[in-house]
Structure 1
Amino acid sequence: MKAARLYGPGDIRVEQVEEPVAGKGQVKVKIAWNGICGSDIHAFLTTVPKYPQGTTPDPLSGESLPVTLGHEFSGTIISVGPGVDEHKWAVGQNIVVEPLVSCMKSSCPSCSSGSRNLCPIHNFIGIGGWGGGLAEYIAVDTQYIHALPNNIPLDVGACVEPLAVAWHSVKRSRFAKGQSALVLGAGPIGLFLLKVLLAFDPNALIIVSEPTVLRRQSAIKHGATHVIDPTHSNVEESVMKLTGGVGVDVAFDAAGVQATMVAAIESVRTRGTVANVAIWEKTAMIDINRLVMKEIFITGIASYDRIHPELLEALASGKITGVEQLITRKVAIEDVVEKGFLTLVNDKDTQVKILIHP
């Protein structure tokens, strides 16, 4: 079968690999769509954590480079392995994969306490190994799959994984109905955050700060109350004007640069929450005294952990709509590098989510 394999930074090859067979407790899935993630782009450009490095095997998967990429994917079950409940997982059923894998050892404080996304050696299907969504097929344990509701198409299903990051972020921030929010950065995760915030409160005051025109326009189209151009306006001053001098209840940093973290801290109200959703390339400098004087809660966001069922219910019930409008390009796997990865590197301002069809 065809698969897009990572050999190292700048080296992704579409090649023929052996087609998988569903083992015990597994289903074989014909992959429909796979979204290219920001972390995939980082791995294409440089070495980043979680992606295997050289010949050193991943401590969980035991695999080293090359690995098949793709962790945002949907597909259809085409066969089931021994020990699978065929009443629950039937051939022809559409599914999405929750790709986070952890050690699940009783000696692991995170796994044993129900926070497997914080396991020190956790990784993801399609990053650390185990196959991936940038291939024609995958064999995956049933513990990692979720049934895709009948009214949700497979292309939207491929957006469930990044939506899960946004859903987990909003829950961790303790955002509640009647509160206000600031989203810094209107890339894919920022726009998914906007969608989820509106699912929690359709009438919420949501301000989006984004330097590029097209992304600001997209934020307005998808329900932002106000947008700010941080290259021409002071974000903190603008937020204070829009909130009557109070500040927002929650600020989400989805950009991961010094300026956005400063803006988040300054724009949030006293005893408000700052949630960092971004992966940083450089260490942030935080004014601790501002946290002290405002008694700000600040939290990091690490992926998600078993929130897919409630997210899928929100999608099926129509609380989250218009996700398909955030899919800006669909590409065949043969063109994954030129029309997928390189497009997101060179033309990221006009693209939100690019899906690959293997």
Structure 2
Amino acid sequence: MRAVRYYGPGDIRVDNIPEPSITDGKIKIKVWRCVHAINSKYEVAYPNRYAIARTVCGSDVHAYFIRPEASPTATTPHPITGETLPTVMGHEFSGTIVALGRGVDNKKYAVGQNVTIEPVISCMKPTCPQCTSGARNVCPNVSYVGAGGFGGGFSEYVSLSPEYVHVLPAGVSLEAGAMIEPLSVGWHAVKRSSFKPGDRALVIGCGPIGLFVLKSLQALGASWVGVSEPATERREMARKASASTVFDPLSEDVVSETVRVTDGGADVVFDCAGLQASLDTALQAVRPRGTVVGVAVWEKMPTLNTHAIQRKEIMLTSCNGSNDEHPELLQAVAAGKIKGLDELVTRKIALEDFVEMGIKALINEKNKHIKILVHPQKRLETKL
């Protein structure tokens, strides 16, 4: 089968590799799409019924420049998966079950079911305090399907243990299913905060994760959600997603306006930008005894204004991916509490175009794109 494999920074290839066989205790899935980004007149024809949806993630772009900590090297295997580079990429994906290995619960899973993948890999050793306390996402050796091994969504098939596989509820599309993983990051960020229904929140940075934080806050009962975003295209996306107020930090005083609108400051502020300016804004815009959540992955460590934190008794916390949120989140999506996930798909491409129309598009046209879906079939281009 064909698969996108990661050899190291700047070296991503579409290879022909053996198709995974169905083995005891595993579920074999045919990939339809895996997520990358948005807004294009390039489409791919999808001729066959069984499929996986996968999307291109910001972490895929990051890996194009720097090897992720969650990945092994060419000589040192990952301590959990035992695999070395190259590994198959893609951790945001959904698909259709095509075979069940012996021992898999056939009352829960069946051939033909559409599923989404929860990709967190942790050691699950009884001696691991994180894994045994329900905090798998901060296991010392945490990794992800599509980064540390076990296959990945940018391929034609994967074969995974049931703990990674969740059945999509009726009415939830494969496109939406491919975005459950990044949506779970936003959901987890809200859950990690002090947020409670009725609170007012500010989201700084409205890229894909910022949008998913916004949608999660709305679903969980926020009374007001402001968004600060300098890019015109992304501000428009926030408006379309029904943000209460959308700020342009290049021309508006986000702090004073947030304090005015919320009568003293936001209860919770989510920094989804990861810049010195965004952190400074968050600490100023939050109310006394409010919470600031660091969501973005920092490339350059910031200077922390500890005086502001102490003076206002701010609670400062952060989040790392997600942690067993998929069941609760799928219920929320199925109940209609989170809508418009399909609308966040802005481009659909084939595996061969992963780098040129996926990675590089997210680098050069990042403000145009939310999620790019990648299909494993050979390129069948249609100009719309």
Q: TM-score normalised to the size of structure 2?
A: 0.91
1:318 equivalent in alignment to 2:336 = yes
Identity percentage over the alignment?
A: 49
Cα offset, 1:55, TM superposition: 2.1
The residue that corresponds to 1:177 in the other structure is 197
| Distance in 2 of aligned mates of 1:53 and 1:298 | 34
The residue that corresponds to 1:233 in the other structure is 252
The residue that corresponds to 1:268 in the other structure is 286
Q: How does 1:1-358 map to 2 (within 5 A)?
A: 1-32=1-32, 33-201=53-221, 204-244=223-263, 246-358=264-376
Give the aligned residue type for 1:27: I
Give the aligned residue type for 2:57: C
1:344 alignment partner, SS class? helix
Aligned residues: CA RMSD:
1.0
1:262 alignment partner, SS class? helix
Give the aligned residue type for 2:110: A
Cα offset, 1:253, TM superposition: 0.5
1:349 alignment partner, SS class? helix
| Distance in 2 of aligned mates of 1:47 and 1:103 | 21
Cα offset, 1:267, TM superposition: 0.5
Give the aligned residue type for 2:290: G
Cα offset, 1:25, TM superposition: 1.2
| Distance in 2 of aligned mates of 1:237 and 1:53 | 48
Contact 1:206 1:225 in 2 (8 A): yes
In the alignment, structure 2 segments of 5+ residues that lack a partner are 33-52, 377-384
| Distance in 2 of aligned mates of 1:23 and 1:124 | 21
Cα offset, 1:52, TM superposition: 2.5
Cα offset, 1:113, TM superposition: 1.3
Contact 1:52 1:58 in 2 (8 A): yes
Contact 1:31 1:76 in 2 (8 A): yes
Q: TM-score normalised to the size of structure 1?
A: 0.97
Give the aligned residue type for 1:221: K
Aligned residues: 356
Deviation sequence 1:167-226 (CA, Å, 0-9, x none): 11111113122110000100000011111111112x621110101001001101101111
Give the aligned residue type for 1:94: N
| Distance in 2 of aligned mates of 1:304 and 1:129 | 18
Give the aligned residue type for 2:117: V
Moved over 4 A (4+): none
Deviation sequence 1:142-185 (CA, Å, 0-9, x none): 01111101100101100000001111111111312211000010
* Larger relative contact order, structure 1 or 2 (CA cutoff 8 Å, min sep 6): 2
1:282 alignment partner, SS class? coil
Cα offset, 1:22, TM superposition: 2.1
In the alignment, structure 1 segments of 5+ residues that lack a partner are none
| Distance in 2 of aligned mates of 1:167 and 1:200 | 9
Deviation sequence 1:84-128 (CA, Å, 0-9, x none): 111211111111110001011111111111111110101000011
Worse-superposed segment, 125-134 or 173-182: 173-182
Cα offset, 1:288, TM superposition: 1.1
Give the aligned residue type for 2:270: F
| Distance in 2 of aligned mates of 1:49 and 1:5 | 17
Give the aligned residue type for 2:54: N
Cα offset, 1:13, TM superposition: 0.6
Cα offset, 1:48, TM superposition: 2.9
Contact 1:29 1:76 in 2 (8 A): yes
| Distance in 2 of aligned mates of 1:83 and 1:179 | 46
Give the aligned residue type for 2:259: M
Contact 1:22 1:140 in 2 (8 A): no
